[in-house]
Amino acid sequence: MELQSLTKQLTEITKKAGAFIRQESLSFSREQIEYKDFNNLVSYVDKEAEKQLVEDLHKLLPEAGFITEEGTTGLQADRSGLNWIIDPLDGTANFIHKLPVFSVSVGLADGKNPLAGVIYDINRDECYHAWAGGGAFCNQDRIRVSPATRLQESMVATGFPYARFDKIDRYLQILASLMQKTHGLRRMGSAAIDLAFVACGRFEAFYEFNLNSWDMAAGVLLVREAGGIVTDFHGGDEYLFRGDVIAGCGMQPELLALIEEYWNRADG
């Protein structure tokens, strides 16, 4: 397939879903919230946006399967194959609370290897896109990760656990250490936007555990194509389906070493 042309079409499909979400945000009320499980929110907006994306992406690339957050396709995907990996509304809790930090994230991956990705930051009208070997862009502009090489000159983004708290002590130890060794920590509430901001140099790094593939499929490709480094918490490349990821610029190895130090300790 010709990835540059496919990515151009993918940006239009993703922005179309974003326009739907933006319009619905004007009249959405909290009475329309559903709970998938503890602290895991969803709305008709997530579901409808996903249906639109699946329909359009199937037309674009009929041979690809789907891995989606809301499961509207009802299909089981083969993770080792070619798949669209979709988060129709990354930052649902922000959307529900009318905090303007949410996005659409769509990636195309062959197994664990992302080939193309688009993140549309709806409220800023910033469309981040990348394809394997083609670089990373925000709207029409080429983007690069920050030139920072040291943790002490970095701003780092993360996400807070909202369901699994079995490793909370290790997580808090990492937070405490980074509070003392960086310019600051930020928690935006949309992993896709966090990764896009790493790719364009607004953050030096992002790390989180217990993510899903749809949270990061597009974003990790953006960071890599923008000149960054992406690993799991053990320095490997199993992040997409294992769920722990560290993405950053030249200071990423220093952040990885810090996280490994605490993550491999026993709690208590």
pLDDT tens string 122-166: 999 999 999 999 999 999 999 999 999 999 999 999 998 766 677
Residue range(s) of every CATH 3.40.190.80 domain in the chain: 151-263
CATH topology of domain 151-263: D-Maltodextrin-Binding Protein; domain 2 (3.40.190)
The region of weakest confidence among 69-73, 119-123, 191-195 is 69-73
The pLDDT, as a whole number, for residue 73 is 72
* C-alpha dihedral sign at 182, 146, 216, 26: positive
**3-142 CATH:** 3.30.540.10
Q: How confident is the model at residue 268 (pLDDT cuts 50, 70, 90)?
A: very low
pLDDT higher at 72 or 210? 210
Query: Burial code of 242-256, b = ≥16 C-beta within 10 A, e = fewer?
Result: bbbbbbbbbbbebbb
| H helical segments located in 61-190 | 92-96, 168-181
Residue range(s) of every CATH 3.30.540.10 domain in the chain: 3-142
Inform me whether the pLDDT recorded for 77 exceeds 80.
no
The pLDDT, as a whole number, for residue 29 is 64
